[in-house]
C-alpha cells in the first residue's frame, strides 16, 4: 500500500513538473521578451531580433539589428544586445561596438 501511494505521488509530481515548461509557455516568454527588447531599443528603428540567445534562470539574451534614428547617422545599421528580466518584464539594450 505504501509503495503504491509513493509511486502515485512521484508520478503526480513528475507530471506537474513536466507541464511547467510547455512549448506554449516558452513561446509566450519569447513574445514578451521580443516586444520589450524592441521597445527598449530607442536608438534604432526597424528593429528585428536576429538571434534569440540563451534563457537563463532570471533573464533571456537576444541580439537586435536596426537602423540608427539620428539623422547624422545617415541610415547606418546598428547592432545591439538585449537582456530581458523575466520577473520584472524590463529590458535593457546595449549597443554593440563592431570592430572591422
Convert the pLDDT of each residue in 42-77 to its tens digit. 999 999 999 887 778 899 999 999 999 989 989 999
How far, in Å, CA of 100 to CA of 38, rounded? 26
The kind and range of the H/E element at 30 are helix 23-40
Predicted local confidence at residue 4, as pLDDT: 47
User: Rounded to 5 degrees, what are φ and ψ at 7?
Assistant: -65, -45
Q: What are the cell numbers at 63? A: 541580439
Predicted local confidence at residue 10, as pLDDT: 46
The answer to whether 40 touches 88, Cβ cutoff 8 Å, is no
Q: What mean pLDDT, rounded, does the chain reach?
A: 81
Predicted local confidence at residue 13, as pLDDT: 46
How far, in Å, CA of 67 to CA of 75, rounded? 6
Predicted local confidence at residue 56, as pLDDT: 81
Question: Nearest Cα to 31, choosing from 19, 20, 43, 23?
Answer: 23
**pTM for this prediction:** 0.72
Amino acid at each position: 500500500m505504501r509503495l503504491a501511494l509513493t509511486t502515485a505521488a512521484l508520478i503526480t509530481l513528475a507530471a506537474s513538473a513536466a507541464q511547467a515548461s510547455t512549448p506554449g509557455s516558452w513561446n509566450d516568454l519569447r513574445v514578451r521578451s521580443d516586444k520589450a527588447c524592441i521597445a527598449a531599443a530607442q536608438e534604432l528603428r526597424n528593429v528585428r531580433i536576429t538571434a534569440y540567445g540563451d534563457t537563463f534562470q532570471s533573464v533571456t539574451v537576444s541580439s537586435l539589428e536596426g537602423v540608427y534614428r539620428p539623422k547624422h547617422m545617415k541610415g547606418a545599421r546598428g547592432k545591439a544586445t538585449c537582456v530581458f528580466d523575466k520577473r520584472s518584464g524590463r529590458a535593457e539594450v546595449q549597443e554593440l561596438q563592431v570592430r572591422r
